[in-house]
Structure 1
Amino acid sequence: MKKLLLFTFLFSAFISCKNNETKIGQEVETEAEKSIAQQIAEAHGLNNFDEVEEIQFTFNVRVEDSLRTSREWTWKPQTDEIRLTEGDISRNYTRTDNIAEDDKDIDQKFINDSYWFLFPFQMVWSDAEISEEKTGIAPISKEEMKYLEVSYKDEGGYTPGDTYVVYYNDDYLLEEWIYKSADGQREMPTTWEDFEDFQGLKISKSHKSPDGSFELFFTDIEVK
C-alpha cells in the first residue's frame, strides 16, 4: 500500500512538472512568435497606449537656422478628436472612415506629423508591408545595425508607395531611418534621438539629417 501511495505521489508530481514545462514552453513560444515590428512597437511603449486619454505635441521643422513649420496638436486617441493650432488659427475635426472634404488638408498634416511622432506604433497599426529582418550599415552612424523595410501600397493614403528603412538597436529602439519616396526621386535619412519617457511612451524628440542642416523635432509634449 505504501509503495502504491508513493508511486501515485511520484506520478502526480511528474505530471505536474510536465504541465509546468508545457506552460513555460508555451510562453516562450508565444514570445518568439511576436514579429520584429511588434517588438519594436512594444519597446517604444505600445502596451501603455490603451491608457492614453490625450496627447499634446508641437511638430517643428528647422532648416539651417530658420524655423519653417510649427504645428500644435491635441489628440484624444479613444475618440479620435483632434485639434490643430497653427499660428493664430485653431481647427477641430474627428477622424472617421469618411473624412469630409473640408478636413482632408488638416487630416493630411496630422497623418504626416503623427507618423513621425509615433512611427514605431504605426508599424503595427497600419497595413504596411514589412520585410524580414536584415543587417546592414546605417546611413548616418555608419555602424552595422539590424533593419526592416516598411513599405506602403501604391494606392490609397496621401503618399502611396512610400518606403521607410528603419534601423534599430538591440533594445529594439529606432536609431536611424531612411525615407524613400514612391517615385524614387527623394531619399532622406535622419536620426532618431533624444528619447524621453512620457507615461510609458518612449518618444524620440529629435530627427536630424546627416549634416545637421535639417531637424524635425517635437516640443510641448504631454501625455495624459
Structure 2
Amino acid sequence: MKKLFILSILGILFYSCNDKKKEQEIISEEQNLEIHEKIALANGLEEFDSINKIEFTFNVSVNDTLRSERKWTWDTRTDRITLIEKDSTMSYIRQDSIEEANQYIDQRFINDSYWLLFPFQLEWSDANFSEVKTATAPISKKDMQMLTVNYRSEGGYTPGDSYDIYFDDEFMIREWVYHSADGNNQMATTWEDYDEFKDIKVAKMHKSEDGSFKLFFTDIAVE
C-alpha cells in the first residue's frame, strides 16, 4: 500500500511537471512572436482555416447619408467572390491574374475586406513594420501602443500606403490613421463595436473623430 501511495504521488508530480513544461513552452512561443503576429492571433487568425464562407455588407455613411452599400460573399474554399450592389450581381474567382473586366470588383473587394479583416492582413500581406512605441491615439487622446505598417511602393492597388495602428494590452486595434503614399490624404478612425463570428473578431464600426464619417459592417455571417 505504501509503495502504491508513493507511485501515485510520483505520477501526479510527473503529470504536473509536464503540464507546467507545456505551459512554459506556450508562454515562450508567445513571447517570441512579432507584434503583428500577436494582433492577428488575438483576432482569431488560427480559426480562419476552418472557415468556408464569409458574408458581409460594407456600408459608408457621411453626415448620416448612406453613400455606399456593398454586399459580399467570399467562398474561401474556391476563392469565388460575389458582389451585390444596387440591382446588380457580379461574381469572379480571385487568382494571380485578374481579368480587366473583374478589376473593378476586385479593387472594391480588397478595400472592403481589408477593413473587415485588417488584423489578418498583417500576416497575409507583404508589408514592413516599425518598432512599437507608446503614442497618443488621435481620437481618444489616450496613450496606447502604436505600430506603423508600410506597404511596398510596387504592386497592389494602392502601393506605398501606410497605417499607424493603435492597440491595447489585449492586442486589439482601437484606432488607426491611414496615410496615402503621396502624403495628400490622411484619415483617422476608431475600431469599435467588436463582435465574434466563429471565434473571428470583427470591429463592426469605424468612425471619424466628429462622427461625420462612419464605415460599418452589417449582415456578417461566417460558416
TM-based fold match above 0.5: yes
Q: Distance in 1 between matches of 2:77 and 2:35?
A: 26
d(CA) in 1 for partners of 2:152, 2:90? 30
Partner residue in 1 for 2:183 = 184
Alignment TM-score, normalising by the size of structure 1: 0.89
- Matched ranges for 1:23-172 at <5 A: 26-172=25-171
CA distance in 1, matches of 2:125, 2:197: 23
Aligned partners of 1:88 and 1:22: how far apart in 2?
58
CA distance in 2, matches of 1:39, 1:127: 17
SS at match of 2:135: strand
Aligned to 1:4: none
Q: Which runs of 5+ in 2 are unaligned?
A: 1-13
In structure 1, C-alpha distance between the alignment counterparts of 2:22 and 2:51, rounded to whole Å: 32
* Paired residue secondary structure (1:58): strand
| 3-state secondary structure, aligned to 1:160 | coil
Deviates more, 1:167-176 or 1:23-32: 23-32
% identical aligned pairs: 52
Secondary structure of the residue aligned to 2:90 is strand
Question: What CA deviation, in whole Å up to 9, does each residue of 1:67-99 have, x standing for no partner?
Answer: 000000000112211100000100010000111
Letter of the 1:196 counterpart = D
Secondary structure at the counterpart of residue 109 of structure 2: helix
Partner of 1:208: 207
Spell out, residue by residue over 1:175-195, the C-alpha distance to the aligned partner (whole angstroms, 9 max, x if none).
000000000011100000011
- The Cα of 1:132 is off from its aligned counterpart by 1.4
Specify whether residues 65 and 25 from structure 1 end up closer, same or farther in structure 2 by C-alpha distance, changes over 3 A only.
Answer: closer
- Give a deviation string over 1:87-138, Cα, whole Å, max 9, x none: 0100010000111111111000000000000000001110111111111000
Deviates more, 1:205-214 or 1:123-132: 123-132
Aligned partner of residue 96 in structure 2, secondary structure: coil
Distance 1:68 1:24, change over 3 A: closer
2:222 & 2:24 partners in 1: Cα distance?
Answer: 37
- Offset of residue 22 of structure 1: 6.9
Name structure 1 gaps, 5 residues minimum. Answer: 1-15
Q: Residue 157 of structure 1 aligns to a residue in which SS? A: coil
C-alpha separation between the residues in 1 aligned to 2:71 and 2:21? 51
Q: Which has the larger radius of gyration?
A: 1
Question: In the aligned structure 1, how far is the partner of 2:200 from the partner of 2:21?
Answer: 33
Count of matched residue pairs: 211
Query: Within 1, Cα distance between the matches of 2:31 and 2:140?
Result: 29
Offset of 1:141 from its aligned partner?
Answer: 0.2
Q: CA deviation at 1:32?
A: 1.2
TM-align CA RMSD: 1.9
